Amino acid sequence: MHAGGGNDTAYTSLGLPPHTDGCYMAEQPGFQMFHCLKPATSGGDSTLVDGLAIADRLRQAHPDTFAALCDPSLRVPYHHTEFGQHMIERRPVFSLADGVSPADLADDRLGVADIVSRVHFNDVDRAVMSAQLAPPAAVRDMKAFYTHWQRLLDAAMSPDLEFRMSLRPGSVLVFDNQRMLHGRTRFDASSGRVLHGCYGSRESFNARWRARAGFPEWSVRNAK
């Protein structure tokens, strides 16, 4: 933790709602890892929610909201400031898979995994929906946007979609940051909880996976 949390709630003892990291970055991290060095004495459980399960729930219950959040033109602004930097990026909540268009969303032959390739969602880092930062479609119909956003929040916070775990010393949690939302429960700030974290790029992961899958063993060893 940082004294006072700095400008990031991750460095406080507060509970964190489900989110994906780096929505404000031009290249959102593909993978994230947490290494538990010291757990909290109480609280501090890690939580995961499958972003595709959220998308599927919205598709079934609110197809208009699912369509809006898949709209490539509805690019939600996210931002972060730190050490003299102001990072801003805009992206849809659900990025469509290659070859999929908004016209395909109602096709019952396609599952949500066929439609959505990546998930970008962090309500805490969402920027002000101003005319300068927000997509024109959202500004023209702000009431509709916040109706869709509230439905998204409700789905993301659904208890039946949450997987909760307590990381112990030496435990390592690795997950897809462009699919899985993560969070945590509130914990005792005086407990000395220590988690180390890092990001990994999807490009590097895919490159190594292709090498192991399609090249001789010796070529992989030589690449180490």
Q: Quick one: DSSP state of residue 36? A: E
59-75 tens-digit pLDDT: 999 999 999 999 998 89
pLDDT at 5: 47
Can you tell me whether residue 165 is helix, strand or coil? strand
Contact between residue 79 and residue 24 where contact means Cβ atoms under 8 Å apart: yes
The structure tokens listed for 178 are 């462009």
CA–CA gap between residue 9 and residue 7 (Å, rounded): 7
**What is the per-residue pLDDT for 217?**
59
Q: How many CB atoms lie within 10 A of CB 20?
A: 25
**Can you give the pLDDT at residue 1?**
45
> What is the pLDDT, as a whole number, of residue 219?
54
Axis-axis angle for helices 63-70, 142-156 (nearest 10): 100
Dig out the tokens for 82 from the structure: 């730190």
In the chain the domains, ranked by start, together with CATH numbers, are 16-223 (3.60.130.10)
Strand 162-165 and strand 116-119: pairing?
Answer: unpaired
Residue 93 contacts by C-beta under 8 Å, 6 or more apart in sequence? 69, 70, 76, 119, 120, 121, 152
**How much is the pLDDT for 2?**
47
SS3 60: helix
CB 188 within 8 A of CB 15: no
Give CA–CA dist 17/183, Å, rounded: 5
CA dihedral 15, 193, 10, 16 (to 10 degrees): -20
Question: In terms of C-beta density within 10 A (0-12 exposed, 13-18 middle, 19 or more buried), how is residue 35 classed?
Answer: middle
Residues of the chain with pLDDT under 70: 1-7, 132, 214-224
